[in-house]
Amino acid sequence: MKPLIASALFGVIMMFAALSVKEKKTFSLIAAFLLAILVGVNVYELCEVMHNANGDTTLFGSMLRYDSVSIWFNTLMTFITFLYVLLCGKNIERVGQHVGEYYSLIFFILCGANLLTGYSNLLILFLGIEILSIPQYILAGSDKKSLKSSEASLKYFLMGSFSTGILLMGICLLYGAMHTFDITKFNFMEPGGMNMMALAGILFLIVAFGFKVSAAPMHFWTPDVYDGAPTPFTAIMATIVKAGVFMAFFRLFSQSFGGINAHWSLVLSIVTALTLFIGNITAVFQQSVKRMLAYSSIAQAGFMLFAVLSVNATGMKGLIIYSVAYSVATIGMFAVLMKLKDYTYDGFNGLAKKEPFLAFAASIFLFSLAGIPLTGGFFAKYFVLTAVMEQNTNMAWLVIFALIMAAVSVYYYFKVLMAMYFKKGDPEMAMEVTSTDKVVLGIVVVIVLLIGIMPDVLIGWLTN
């Protein structure tokens, strides 16, 4: 509860700071300081829950239920947001005049994510989704000088509103069938068999979540929105936001829908296969690295869907590792991208010669996204694929297909490596790479490698 209140309060503080603070750099310092405090609040809350005899904290008549896993996940996502501000703060300051408001919206996004990781009631799910989504519509259109940014904001708003309507329809059908919003009290079986109204509600929820996490065939808004939105905000939309929604997706199916696996696993399997195929194949043909990363995020969503398919302890571990490894590597890659003026593959030509550390960091991030051993992405993929095989050995065909698609992803990630190390050029830098940038990027690189070497650092003590 404390992190939820703190994130909302810090968002309000940033709004009031925007009225009095004039220097843009000051906003980044204030935001970083408040995020550091928020990490501390999450750690304090985690310690309280761990020492609680019941093992979790329930609030508002059990509408919210925080356990050690959900609070640990919130702590990790808050820390990654802290790193994001350190890496991308200068770029956020260059987007527009309302820097304080931008940071305020980021705190509200964390507030929404906090609700999504602890809900036990469908009404809280709806509130969390909306609190998470509405700031993104604003951030996507924050660059008033860019027509692409305005277009991205409009598309995101329309598609988001459409998916919210589908979500509400699913919630209504489930309430009509179950007579409660509490997901822990759902019982889908009737004397005559499956409750068909409930099944329809579940399908509506799968479609709605598919929109939110960019799963195919509900992904079509993603490339245009990610490409048109200001790059610093694309980074958080593709990472923290997606990870939070996936945790809500996993929570929904693990707590309430686990008993009807046979009814929904085929639907999710088809969605997963489509997401992997469309995301990877279309990424191959992109000429812009930013747009490639947008399609890459669709492909990565396909792997994260394996955790939802499994809904077991290994799937939970996999989702936590995947969320952290993917988020850190993607934010790091976007931080490198924002140092360049040209976002095409040619813009990376010769980067290793001009900025060797920047090229090295980008290489580690791309290795992780591709799932190369000794990086966080390798164990992230290993855990989610293992989770599915533990749950249902009949899913072997989907695991093999995912491995083939992972091999395809190596091609378009390594195109960037080829440009940096094996092609001649003089990349034009959008801004200077300072010593502070190198230190923070170095920390992010170490985190990616640490997860790849010792993944139990993230989830070992939770298992115990």
pTM: 0.93
Q: For residue 189, is it left (φ>0), alpha (ψ between -120 and 50) or beta?
A: beta
Please, what is the average pLDDT of the chain?
Answer: 89
- Closest by alpha carbon to 354, among 340, 365, 364, 342? 340
137 pLDDT more than 70: yes
| Reported confidence tier of residue 105, pLDDT bands at 50, 70, 90 | very high
Angle at 458 between CA 358 and CA 89, to 5 degrees: 40
| pLDDT at residue 461, as a whole number | 61
- Closest by alpha carbon to 2, among 35, 50, 45, 51? 45
Q: What is the pLDDT of residues 193-226, one digit of tens each?
A: 667 888 888 889 999 999 999 998 888 899 999 9
| Reported confidence tier of residue 56, pLDDT bands at 50, 70, 90 | low
| Reported confidence tier of residue 97, pLDDT bands at 50, 70, 90 | confident
Query: Residue 176 and residue 5: Cα distance in Å, rounded?
Result: 32
**Residue numbers of the domain that contains 11:** 2-463
| Reported confidence tier of residue 463, pLDDT bands at 50, 70, 90 | low
Q: What residues contact 160, with CB distance under 8 A and at least 6 apart?
A: 133, 136, 137, 211
Q: What is the pLDDT of residues 352-362, one digit of tens each?
A: 999 999 999 99
- Closest by alpha carbon to 82, among 131, 130, 31? 31
Q: Which residues of 205-216 are buried (b: 16+ CB within 10 A; e: fewer)?
A: bbbbbbbbbbbb
| pLDDT at residue 266, as a whole number | 83
**Concatenated DSSP letters of 191-236:** TTEE-HHHHHHHHHHHHHHHHHHT-TTS-TTHHHHHHHS-HHHHHH
Q: What is the pLDDT of residues 388-413, one digit of tens each?
A: 998 877 889 999 999 999 999 999 99
pLDDT > 90 in the chain, percent:
67
| pLDDT at residue 257, as a whole number | 58
| pLDDT at residue 334, as a whole number | 95
| pLDDT at residue 171, as a whole number | 94
Number of domains in the chain: 1
> DSSP class of residue 427?
P
Query: Residue 73 and residue 268: Cα distance in Å, rounded?
Result: 24
Q: What is the pLDDT of residues 158-176, one digit of tens each?
A: 999 999 999 999 999 999 9
Please say whether the dihedral angle defined by the alpha carbons of residues 53, 54, 55 and 58, taken in this order, is positive or negative.
negative
| Reported confidence tier of residue 187, pLDDT bands at 50, 70, 90 | confident
Q: Which residue has the higher pLDDT, 156 or 391?
A: 156
| Reported confidence tier of residue 262, pLDDT bands at 50, 70, 90 | low
Query: Residue 215 and residue 240: Cα distance in Å, rounded?
Result: 16
Q: Which residue has the higher pLDDT, 266 or 223?
A: 223
Structure tokens at 261: 């696996």
57 pLDDT more than 80: no
263 pLDDT more than 80: no
| pLDDT at residue 193, as a whole number | 60
| Reported confidence tier of residue 88, pLDDT bands at 50, 70, 90 | very high
191 pLDDT more than 80: no
Q: How many Cα atoms are found within 13 Å in the side-chain-facing hemisphere of 186?
A: 30
| Reported confidence tier of residue 145, pLDDT bands at 50, 70, 90 | confident
| pLDDT at residue 394, as a whole number | 82
Q: What is the pLDDT of residues 309-367, one digit of tens each?
A: 888 888 888 999 999 999 999 999 999 999 999 899 999 999 999 999 999 999 999 99
Q: What is the pLDDT of residues 275-300, one digit of tens each?
A: 999 999 999 999 999 999 999 999 99
pLDDT > 70 in the chain, percent:
95
